[in-house]
């Protein structure tokens, strides 16, 4: 055993060093392999912090102008009433403007013609009203009345 060249203290030290290096190399390879597996399994995590709304086209609903006054806005923001009859626009300074909304109904040719005829009728009614009011306030005698002096009786010149 003592004469065995593999059992010398130098050999044992070299063998121990070599096996330690191999163990470390194997462990490094395993760690790298585990690292690659984790990269493939987990997606990248992105965090986005939004401090203020960035949607410039936001539309909100409100019941009254008091509800609009309570809201914080970061851009000019329209607030619509539930029945869509009023819109309030609030700016970043807190100023509120109110507008009344009226629905625009698309008209076809028949609707346009009906409106035109109704306008003509109303115009003619106005002309009739003006003519009547002018007749009531005139002091001139009516030319259709005949004088009572003129006799309408016929005289006959027949001989008897």
Per-residue pLDDT for 62 more than 50?
Answer: yes
Tens digits of residue pLDDT in 82-107: 888 999 999 989 999 999 988 888 88
Q: What is the pTM of this model?
A: 0.38
The two structure tokens encoding residue 19: 């096996």
User: b or e along 80-110 (b: 16 or more beta carbons within 10 Å of the residue's beta carbon)?
Assistant: ebeeeebbbebeeeeeeeeeeeeeeeeeeee
Could you tell me the residue ranges of all domains in the chain?
A: 5-40, 60-100, 105-134
């Amino acid at each position: 055993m003592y004469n065995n060249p593999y059992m010398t203290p130098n050999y044992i030290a070299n063998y121990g060093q070599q096996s330690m290096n191999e163990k470390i190399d194997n462990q490094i390879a395993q760690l790298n392999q585990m690292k690659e597996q984790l990269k493939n399994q987990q997606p990248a995590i992105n965090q986005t912090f939004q401090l203020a709304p960035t949607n410039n086209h936001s539309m909100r609903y409100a019941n009254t102008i008091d509800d609009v006054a309570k809201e914080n806005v970061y851009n000019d923001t329209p607030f619509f009433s539930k029945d869509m009859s009023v819109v309030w626009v609030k700016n970043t300074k807190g100023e509120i403007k109110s507008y009344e909304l009226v629905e625009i109904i698309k008209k076809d040719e028949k609707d346009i013609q009906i409106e035109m005829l109704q306008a003509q009728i109303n115009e003619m009614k106005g002309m009739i009203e003006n003519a009547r009011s002018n007749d009531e306030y005139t002091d001139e005698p009516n030319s259709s009345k005949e004088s009572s002096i003129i006799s309408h009786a016929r005289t006959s010149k027949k001989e008897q």
